[in-house]
């Protein structure tokens, strides 16, 4: 490598072809499938390797994918986080003194985010191979926002396993759904409620 202080510096490993360096206060580097660069406070960029590697069998714990942030407050993220946790395994017909051995469970969570403040923002997190996920979105701050949560529950599902909320100007139009129950409020006078398939109610000015 080489350097010219304080303008730039760079070094490269001839065996691995990994390199890193800087140009003024901008820094960059690459090692295998992973790369990064940043210039404070203007932008940051990270590439943690292809997402296909995270979804392949036998993936190692860690973060895979890309993320980016820059002025004026724009961001992007498309990543998979792989985690390994140890949990006790159930042993049937155990003999006295026999204990259950622990098993390693691997979970992967797909994360997507993007936005440009204050125009819009979007975020979602989903467990790979499961119905569990969370999604949220916002348009022009309070103009419109949306949120949905789905929990992976074994049948029969518990209350609140699937819930959705969307609003316009916070209370100008407010919609909520929890499983089969629905509630809608339209400012300033209209409300609508539905619970399952047996109960419905619509009101104007509450009791008018």
The answer on pLDDT for 100 being more than 90 is no
- Place 58 in a pLDDT band, splitting at 50, 70 and 90: confident
Q: Which residues contact 101 (CB under 8 A, 6 or more apart)?
A: 88, 89, 91
Q: Averaged over 126-148, what is the pLDDT?
A: 93
Would you tell me how many other CB atoms lie within 10 Å of the CB of residue 48?
Answer: 20
44-48, 52-56, 91-95, 198-202: range with highest mean pLDDT:
44-48
CB 82 within 8 A of CB 99: no
User: What count of Cα atoms within 13 Å lies in the side-chain half-sphere of residue 176?
Assistant: 10
Per-residue pLDDT tens over the stretch 4-13: 999 999 999 9
Distance CA 26, CA 49 (A): 21
pTM of the model: 0.81
So what's the pLDDT on residue 208? 84
- Place 112 in a pLDDT band, splitting at 50, 70 and 90: very high
């Amino acid at each position: 490598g080489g350097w010219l202080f304080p303008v730039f510096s760079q070094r490269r490993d001839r065996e691995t072809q990994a390199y890193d360096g800087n140009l003024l206060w901008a820094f960059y580097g690459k090692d295998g499938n992973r790369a990064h660069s940043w210039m404070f406070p203007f932008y940051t960029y990270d590439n943690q390797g292809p997402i296909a590697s995270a979804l392949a069998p036998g993936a190692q714990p860690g973060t895979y994918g890309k993320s980016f942030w820059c002025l004026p407050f724009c961001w992007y993220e498309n990543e998979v986080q792989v985690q390994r946790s140890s949990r006790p395994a159930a042993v049937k017909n155990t003999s006295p003194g026999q204990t259950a051995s622990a098993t390693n469970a691997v979970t992967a969570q797909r994360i997507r985010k993007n936005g440009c403040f204050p125009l819009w923002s979007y975020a979602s997190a989903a467990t790979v191979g499961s119905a569990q996920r969370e999604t949220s979105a916002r348009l022009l701050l309070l103009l419109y926002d949306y949120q949905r949560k789905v929990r992976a529950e074994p049948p029969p599902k518990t209350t609140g396993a699937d819930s959705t909320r969307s609003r316009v100007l916070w209370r100008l139009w407010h919609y909520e759904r929890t499983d089969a129950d629905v509630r809608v409020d339209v400012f300033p006078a209209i409300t609508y409620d539905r619970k399952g398939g047996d109960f419905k109610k619509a009101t104007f000015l509450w009791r008018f």
